[in-house]
Chain A
Amino acid sequence: MFMLDWYAHNSRLKTVHPAEKVLFAFLCLVLALYFSRGTISLAIIVLQGAIILFYLRIPPRYYVRLLLMPLAFLLPGCLAVALEIPAATQAAVMLTLSLGPLTLGISSGGISLAVNLLLRSLAALSSLYFLALTTPFTQLGWLLRKAMLPPSAVELAALTYRFIFILADTAQSIHTAQVTRLGYSCWRNTFKSLGSLAAGLLAKSFYRSQLMYMGLISRCYDGEFRSLEMYYRFSPGNWLLMGGVTAGLLAISRIPTFLALF
């Protein structure tokens, strides 16, 4: 999980204007969702995969793991889409499955719908992963502020981001302290230890937030988090590239359906 953050901070595209990265990710996302066609989705999966693996040089194993994570939700969902209760007169059913009074069937239409859904989701996911792997939160926060979101909402998000790491650190150290004293040696101990970890985490976080507040007010904090303006430059090359990608995807969408696989 935290590796994602690390890659974003060390990405080759880190200095690129955040708006360009967000735009590119959303461009692909919107095109995949709008056209809802397998070819477009496939093209986006391949394009984003190529950028992520070959340009950003994210280790393939890690990227595959990132894609596999949501598959746990996605596959059952697609399966449910593929299955249908066939009408008695329906001819296109390829396979039927009887579960007591219930008869489930799979039709070619259902399959193509499920595959389409799967590809569309993967295309959307890989677009979001592109964003997550290239844009650290500092840049997103900056962009959100520029987008005139309420400053307090953006600050809240920024603090949450910082606190995730503090919380994870604290949980890790409590866990280590418990492991060294055989806190997880059997089921009974595991449950007990997990309980006290959660309780300890709350108490420690509270204590820590108080200390942090002290640190803030000692630096003249008055209820508003001010931050230094950051400057990014738009690059014409990137816009050209995005235009090219859009044109390419639109061209793919013109391929007649009977020529395309899906």
Chain B
Amino acid sequence: MSANIIETKGIVFTYADGTRALTDLSLTVPAGKRIAVLGANGSGKTTLFLCLNGILRPQQGQILCGGEPLKYDKKSLRRLRSRLGIVFQDPEIQLFAASVQQEVAFGPLNLGLRETEVRQRVQQALAFTGIEKLKEKATHMLSYGQKKQVAIASILAMEPEILIGDEPTAWLDQEHARKVMDLFYAISDKGTTVIISTHDADLAYSWAEEVVLLGRGKLLGKGPPEELFNHEEMLAAAGLRQPLLLEIYLLLKEKGYVLADTGTPPRNLGALSRLIREGSECRSSS
């Protein structure tokens, strides 16, 4: 397997009404990583995902999947979509079946798997997402957060190599948002490449191993979050701000509450409080 599981080369996508959504976008996605595509509303995140899944076809440029250029015949698309699954932003549009079990079984059945295998996958996906007790429920009776979990399970059951989550925490309460992000973390732990899109710099900063910054359909920057979020002007160009945690850390560093040479900035509250403690211990001992 090549190091880049999926790759775009200079793709351009313009909608029928003339809106240019993607401009000369070249991107490599290393296998097995947690990637956040960060951008403001209308920056082209969803369009990019629809292109990666072969639902939209870029007018120019090329998409490579596993090193091979993507073809748009039925068979190739089928193969692509069995390897790359999208959890759409609004679970309401993704769920069509009357019961949760049928919904989750839909993908695996389309892959042509045997019934016992399908059942096993449905069971696993429901267990993994922690919604086994919803199995027999009707999809229209679920809460929004539960619908989101079912949508994730329905993709997981297809066991894709790449899982894409389009704004996975949109409209979710804090607890469900945390659950969903933990879930995406666990999926990545299994070795699946996980890509999410978000406009939440805090979320991208704490969760991702690599951040891709999009602005008006262009690639503005790419790299590990500690590095990328140092470029304030780049973030401003994308219509975003630095993560709050990073801002606080930089402020504390400036005021001398944390040591200046701590290496990489903290990615979570625990790491920051440890740095503050170390800083205060250092000051009291000197």
- The chain A residues found within 8 Å of chain B, CB to CB, are 5-6, 9, 136-138, 141, 158-159, 161-162, 165-166, 169, 208, 211-212, 214-222, 225-229
Besides the contacts A138-B98, A214-B93, what 5 more A-B pairs have beta carbons closer than 8 Å?
A158-B97, A169-B92, A211-B90, A212-B96, A215-B93
Which among B100-108, B200-208, B250-258 touches the partner chain?
A: B100-108
Query: Is residue B228 within 8 Å, beta carbon to beta carbon, of the partner chain?
Result: no
How many residues from B make CB contacts under 8 Å with A?
38
Report B-chain residues with C-beta under 8 Å of the C-beta of A136: 98, 138
Among B86, B88, B93, B97: residue with most chain A CB under 10 A: B93
Q: In the complex where A5-B138, A138-B102 touch, is A215 in contact with B82 (Cβ < 8 A)?
A: no
What is the minimal beta-carbon distance from A209 to any residue of chain B, in angstroms? Answer: 9
Query: Is residue B118 within 8 Å, beta carbon to beta carbon, of the partner chain?
Result: yes
Q: Is the pair A219, B81 in contact by a Cβ cutoff of 8 Å?
A: yes
Q: Is the pair B88, A219 in contact by a Cβ cutoff of 8 Å?
A: no
Report B-chain residues with C-beta under 8 Å of the C-beta of A229: 115
Q: Is the pair A219, B106 in contact by a Cβ cutoff of 8 Å?
A: yes
Q: In the complex where A212-B96, A219-B155, A220-B82 touch, is A228 in contact with B110 (Cβ < 8 A)?
A: no
Q: Is the pair A215, B53 in contact by a Cβ cutoff of 8 Å?
A: no
Across the interface, A161 reaches (CB within 8 A) one of B90, B98, B118, namely B98
Q: In the complex where A215-B96, A228-B118 touch, is A221 in contact with B55 (Cβ < 8 A)?
A: no
Q: Is the pair B96, A227 in contact by a Cβ cutoff of 8 Å?
A: no
What is the minimal beta-carbon distance from A173 to any residue of chain B, in angstroms? Answer: 11
Q: In the complex where A138-B138, A219-B154 touch, is A162 in contact with B98 (Cβ < 8 A)?
A: yes
Q: In the complex where A161-B98, A162-B97, A219-B158 touch, is A228 in contact with B105 (Cβ < 8 A)?
A: yes
What is the minimal beta-carbon distance from B57 to any residue of chain A, in angstroms? Answer: 13
- The chain B residues found within 8 Å of chain A, CB to CB, are 50, 53, 55, 74, 78, 81-82, 85-86, 88, 90, 92-94, 96-99, 101-102, 105-107, 109-111, 115, 118-119, 122, 137-141, 154-155, 158
Across the interface, A226 reaches (CB within 8 A) one of B74, B109, B122, namely B109
Q: Is the pair B88, A220 in contact by a Cβ cutoff of 8 Å?
A: no
Q: In the complex where A212-B93, A214-B50 touch, is A227 in contact with B105 (Cβ < 8 A)?
A: yes
Report B-chain residues with C-beta under 8 Å of the C-beta of A161: 98
Q: In the complex where A6-B141, A208-B93, A215-B88 touch, is A226 in contact with B106 (Cβ < 8 A)?
A: yes
Assembled-state Cα–Cα distance A228/B138 (Å): 15
Assembled-state Cα–Cα distance A166/B78 (Å): 28
Q: Is the pair A220, B137 in contact by a Cβ cutoff of 8 Å?
A: no
What is the minimal beta-carbon distance from B118 to any residue of chain A, in angstroms? Answer: 6
Assembled-state Cα–Cα distance A247/B53 (Å): 61
Report A-chain residues with C-beta under 8 Å of the C-beta of B109: 226-228
10 nearest CB pairs, A to B: A226-B109, A220-B110, A228-B105, A165-B140, A215-B94, A211-B93, A219-B107, A138-B98, A212-B93, A138-B99
Report A-chain residues with C-beta under 8 Å of the C-beta of B82: 220
Report B-chain residues with C-beta under 8 Å of the C-beta of A228: 101-102, 105, 109, 115, 118-119, 122
Q: Is the pair A220, B94 in contact by a Cβ cutoff of 8 Å?
A: no
Q: Is the pair B139, A227 in contact by a Cβ cutoff of 8 Å?
A: no
What is the minimal beta-carbon distance from B274 to any residue of chain A, in angstroms? Answer: 42
Assembled-state Cα–Cα distance A219/B50 (Å): 13
Report A-chain residues with C-beta under 8 Å of the C-beta of B122: 228
Report A-chain residues with C-beta under 8 Å of the C-beta of B86: 218
Residue of B nearest to A214 (CB): B55
Among B53, B94, B122: residue with most chain A CB under 10 A: B94
